[in-house]
Amino acid sequence: MSNIPLIGLKADQFRHPLDLEATSTLKQLPGLDLMVRQLLGQLGEQFFMLENLASSVQVGENQLPHLHQLLLDACKTLDLEPPQLYVRQHPMPNAYTFAMRGKQPFVVMHTSLIDLLTDEEVKAVIAHELGHLKCEHGVYLTLANLIVLAAGQFSPVGTVLAQGLQAQMLEWLRCAEFTCDRAALLATQDPKVVASLLMKLAGGSPSLAPKLNVDAFLAQARAYDDLSSTQLGEMLKQAQTAQLSHPVPVLRAREIDRWASSKDYESLLAINRSVCYDGETQKGGWRNW
């Protein structure tokens, strides 16, 4: 059965509470996001677009069409206009998004990541990156990097300030990743697909990936959750993750496992399932997206 398209989906409908809080704090910085968009938006877009056109393969109807279709499917489900998608030769599994002004956003996937994943898991990665676009994370990430770099150019006081800002922004980034994992779940509508993706990021390789056990990894994620439930465990967990830009994979798997069982997730799908069935009755064809 085709995934339910989430017609009219808004970012705050799936945004993780920690991300909602952190992003709201960033939006209170008056005028800085607009300044970054105006000063670097057009230049940044053109520079990185040129660099991608020169050094990557642009996905489209006539170039890696199966990846192009995965992009279109994820965009339809998340109710988002498709960005450009590029594939880049790189030994480190990774994917990233650039969206400064929102006019020419693009997603880049490394070949080594694609080699690890099934098609549904690739769609989950694409949807995760689409989550950054849906929630407009890109401009705040750029803003944070600029502030940190600028603060580090000054006195020791500036260095301390830069470290404080860096810690704050890393915390925000970790919160944003939880939100984008939710976007991956909404696009695939199968929590085991997202958990499998995270498992492969933690300990996968092209030879090991088909042999890994998702249920065992989810049990591992719950064990991690239990071990960090005490005050000491929470302190150790925070120390472990404080300098990371992403939450550890087991924690991300546990979060997505929880949300997949929540009333919020089920309600979001149920509302759109009703809309799709009504649309099929009245207009036809929506369920086949």
Q: pLDDT for 129-175, tens place per residue? A: 999 899 888 777 665 555 544 544 444 444 444 555 567 677 778 88
Dihedral pair phi/psi, residue 108, rounded to 5°: -120, 135
Please identify which of the residues 45, 129, 177, 255 carries the catalytic annotation: 129
Q: Which helix (H) or strand (E) holds 95?
A: strand 95-98
Is the pLDDT confidence value at 114 over 70? yes
Fill in the DSSP letter of residue 97.
E
Does the annotation mark 234 as catalytic?
Answer: no
Q: What is the mean pLDDT of the chain?
A: 81
* Residues ≥6 apart with Cβ < 8 Å to 95: 107, 108, 109, 110, 113, 125, 126, 128, 129
Q: Identify the band that residue 99 occupies on the pLDDT scale cut at 50, 70 and 90.
A: confident
Q: Identify the band that residue 289 occupies on the pLDDT scale cut at 50, 70 and 90.
A: very low
Q: Strands 106-110 and 95-98, how do they pair?
A: antiparallel
* Residues ≥6 apart with Cβ < 8 Å to 87: 56, 57, 59, 64, 67, 108, 109, 110, 111, 114
pLDDT (0 to 100) of residue 62? 97
Burial (0-12, 13-18, 19+ Cβ within 10 Å), 81: exposed
- Backbone region of residue 108 per phi and psi (left: phi > 0; alpha: psi in -120 to 50; beta: other values): beta
**Per-residue tokens: 52:** 């991608």
Q: How far apart are CA 186 and CA 6, in angstroms?
A: 8
Residue 2 neighbours by CB distance under 10 Å: 13
pLDDT (0 to 100) of residue 166? 66
pLDDT (0 to 100) of residue 284? 29
User: Per-residue pLDDT tens for 226-246?
Assistant: 877 777 777 777 777 766 767
Is the pLDDT confidence value at 280 over 50? no
